[in-house]
Amino acid sequence: MPDFPDVRPEPDADPGPPRRRGAARYWSLTRVPGAGGFFAASTVARLGVAMSGVGLLWTVRHDGGSFAVAGGVVGVFAMAQALGAPQVARAMDRYGQPRVLPLLVATHAVAVVLLVGSVATGAALPVLWAAAALAGASIPQPGALSAVRWTHALSDRDLLVTAFSLEAVANDVAFIVGPALVVVVGAVTEPVLGTALAVVLVVGGSTGLAVQRSSAPPAQRRSAARRAAPGRAGRRLWSRTFAALLVVNLALGALFGALQLSVAGAAVEHGAVALGGVVYALMSVTGLLGGIAYGARHRAWSPQRVLLAAASYLVVATGLLQTTAGMRSLALVLALIGAAVAPLFVVSTILTQAAVPAGVLTQALAWSGSASAAGTAVGAAVTGVVVQTHGTSAGFLALAAAAVVMTLAALGARSREPAHADAHAALAAQRPRLSARGRRIRAGSPMSRRRAPRGGPR
């Protein structure tokens, strides 16, 4: 009989965190040093980001008098946000969040003031577009910044999934509450006050992130990146796996854009326009519940398998839209679709974190967000023409097509964890650990090289 080596942990080895279930998994996140502070700050900031587009729409419409002008300004704002986010994220990775964020939010606040002032004084359209472009390009991406901090704080991959599930829930809540809040504030007072509140939340939350230096990942200067991951692999962002994940996010955004137009068209066809928003909100509720449930369980499936399963599930769920005969059946199918959105977001983030070097993670997450935003814009534009020309049933086919593209892209993302993930492990190894006796273990010490059991800290 072969003599297998003894891999049992030595007495001083770190036994790793116990496997928790349910609410205990989320509660364990509160014990991560600095996590409560940076998550709260990012939540405030992302609420302001969710309010910004709608706030500018009503502000420009109120003072400019035209939905065409307002739509053009908001379109330029959104396009600049999608294109500028990866470039800003690149600066975040290279120089660090505490250095870049103050300058970024100051620029954003000044740009919004210039935009509102230009609208009030009746400035020419190119002036409005220039101010909107500057405001969009300088708005931070608090979701990506918070996700990078979770990655820096947690070495337990399973617990990281729970943290990303919490991020997905926070995003959903922000984009449900934010637009409604800015409309209510504008209706009760003045539309410009809704925009002002959005700026205050963005600046306040981002400043809160900037001052929390202890939880911020270190700046990845080029020399540091080379030491952490020698060769070109340490600096390379693009790979086949990352490209496939971008297509997944692009298709998911297209599905959302097509869904908005298709649901609105179905509500008009059935003579129930007032129920359109209620039906769409039901999908958001099931998305929230799906995110909470996914983060609360210990997962036996790999992220690649979950991604493919969720995308395939959406192919079937969107196909069921063709069988709906009224708003009640439409609401049921939309609830089924919403349940898969949060797990898709979580596993996409996990796979992105594993597919790129540590020094470009913020940039990678920003590219994912930009791909989703671009997909939403294209999906809404194409589906609007399809619904107008061929009816709601054809719009539902556009949803199914987006789900099929997502599934094919998920097949391309089913590769082994790339060598770039070693950069994340190298950074995690620099963080202090505690032995079973409570002693601090320095990276590189003999104790730190002892093998810990599977599931423990790296």
Q: Dump pLDDT digits (tens) for 208-265.
A: 999 999 999 888 765 444 444 444 444 578 888 999 999 999 999 999 888 888 888 8
Looking at domain 237-418, its CATH architecture is Up-down Bundle (1.20)
Domain with CATH 1.20.1250.20 in the chain: 33-209, 237-418
3 state SS of 151: helix
Contact present, 411 and 292 (Cβ < 8 Å):
no
CA distances from 324 to 112, 143, 214, 319, 390 (A): 44, 35, 52, 10, 17
pLDDT at 298: 67
Closest to 70 in 3D by CA, of 116, 121, 108: 116
Helix ranges, 96-156 (H): 97-120, 125-137, 142-153
The CATH class of the 33-209 domain is mainly alpha
CB 259: neighbour CB atoms within 10 A?
Answer: 26
Span 69-80, mean pLDDT?
87
Report the range of poorest mean pLDDT among 111-125, 195-209, 286-300, 419-433: 419-433
**CA quadruple 90, 91, 94, 98: dihedral positive or negative?**
negative
Closest residue by Cα to residue 362 from 90, 178, 119: 90
Helix (H) or strand (E) holding 448: none
pTM over 0.85: no
What is d(CA 355, CA 364) in angstroms, rounded to the nearest whole number?
Answer: 9
| Sequential DSSP letters for 288-326 | HHHHHHHHHS---S-HHHHHHHHHHHHHHHHHGGGG--S
Token duo for residue 455: 């599931």
Q: Alpha-carbon distance 235 to 358, whole Å? A: 9
pLDDT at 88 over 80: yes
Confidence of residue 422 (pLDDT cuts 50, 70, 90): very low
Q: Residue 166 contacts by C-beta under 8 Å, 6 or more apart in sequence? A: 26, 29, 39, 295
